[in-house]
Amino acid sequence: MADNDGREIMGWLPKLVFSKKNQVVQIENLKTKEILYTVRINGTTFQPKVYSMDPHEVRLGKNGPETQFLTNCNPVKDPAKAKVLSVNL
């Protein structure tokens, strides 16, 4: 995904630690209503990057983004300072 994305990373959402491998994650900018990306992660961890400091929503699922997980989530500038959240789907 990063190889084809020329946008500048402005912030990071919480690191997600899944109980099951290879889940689908979707990120939406709540201010613009733009879906930034939908990806199937490789493994059990993923830290979403975002391109503004606007609030975002995170949706998750096994085969698609069917479960709203976080809403009104504000990014942080330093990925090391983001929360770590466990996800049990």
Instruction: Tell me the domains of the chain and their CATH numbers.
Output: 2-87 (2.60.40)
Q: Quickly state the pLDDT bin for 22 (edges 50, 70, 90).
A: very high
Q: Are strands 84-87 and 15-18 parallel, antiparallel or unpaired?
A: parallel
Per residue in 33-65, pLDDT tens? 999 999 999 999 999 999 999 999 999 999 999
Q: What is the DSSP letter of 19?
A: S
16: which strand partners? 46, 85
Q: Quickly state the pLDDT bin for 4 (edges 50, 70, 90).
A: confident
